[in-house]
A and B are shown apart, each in its own frame.
With several copies, the nearest count.
Chain A
Amino acid sequence: MKEIRNKNSTIISIHDDVKGEFEIIGQTLVVKLGEDLDHHNSLHIREQADKIIMNKNIKYIIFDFSGTDFMDSSGIGVIMGRYKKVIFIGGSVYVTGVSNNVDRIFKLSGLYKIIEKYNKVEEVLELIKSKGK
């Protein structure tokens, strides 16, 4: 695990085995997912995300799928699980950069009823900023 601190954000790279990155910007956690989001990869992402959500007082989560080709129902579990953690404090969960393949899975799962889809992480960050005002 590596931690890099920038001016406005902290970037945490997880387990070598799992490609992915966590970035904390104020109360927002951006989870940049790796190529595959399956049961194997979801274990590390879940663990790491929950640590950050707890310790850094996270209210908004953006799952960025722009580098992701493959997701199965384990990915749905990861997103639903994090959703449950932030919804009670009035937070929200967003997904960005969703490929066709991942989009089909989201649609089938009904997940779009509780999370919002955007093209880019930046759009969501703007949106969250405007909410704060």
Chain B
Amino acid sequence: MDFTNEMKIEFDSKSINESFARTVVASFVAQLDPTIEEINDVKTAVSEAVTNAIIHGYNNQDGKVIISCKIKDREVFIEVKDRGVGIEDIGKAMEPLYTTRPEIERSGMGFSFMEAFMDKLIVESELGKGTTVKMSKKFEKRGD
């Protein structure tokens, strides 16, 4: 059977919503009965992308962060989108330890963590328009 399920959430660019965003995605993918490790992988990746939208995309100012999440069989597709400043050089931004905000103690590991914890990662961005991070992960089959 081709099972699909979709949701989309939009929320204020406020740091208090970082944990909310993780919880929402985690509870949506819980339908796939994932392992604790799989859930944590997704939570970490979502947390990185949402935090980036809030602090880099919107520079801690007002704005909306949008997460789309689609389940298809045992695969999860997640998009995290902001309409913020955008990224000038995506290749550079994705380099490990690269950060434009060392003064607020960003470690430059956000994109590396997204890559490490998800199967696929695509970053699309346009200066002045915003950034969309697309990630996917296939969950293990659970033996019953």
Contact = CB atoms under 8 A, between A and B. Distances in A.
Interface of A: 16-17, 36, 38-40, 42-43, 46, 70, 72-74, 76-78, 80-81, 100-101, 104-105, 108-109
A106 to B, nearest CB: 11
Contacts of A16: 33, 144
Interface of B: 15-16, 18-19, 22, 33, 36-37, 40, 43-44, 47-48, 51, 54-55, 105-107, 109-110, 112-113, 116, 144
Given A73-B48, A78-B105, A81-B105, A43 B15 contact: yes
Given A36-B19, A76-B107, 9 more contacts: A38-B22, A39-B54, A40-B19, A72-B44, A77-B107, A100-B37, A105-B44, A108-B112, A108-B116
Q: Is the interface of B mostly helix, strand, loop or mixed?
A: helix
B125 to A, nearest CB: 19
A83 B22 CA distance: 28
A72 B48 contact: yes
Contact of A101 (B22, B40, B55, B106): B40
Contacts, number: 64
Given A39-B15, A77-B105, A72 B144 contact: no
A109 B16 contact: no
Contacts of B44: 70, 72, 105
A70 B15 contact: no
Q: Most chain-B Cβ atoms within 10 A of its Cβ — which of A73, A74, A78?
A: A73
Contacts of A78: 105
A72 B55 contact: no
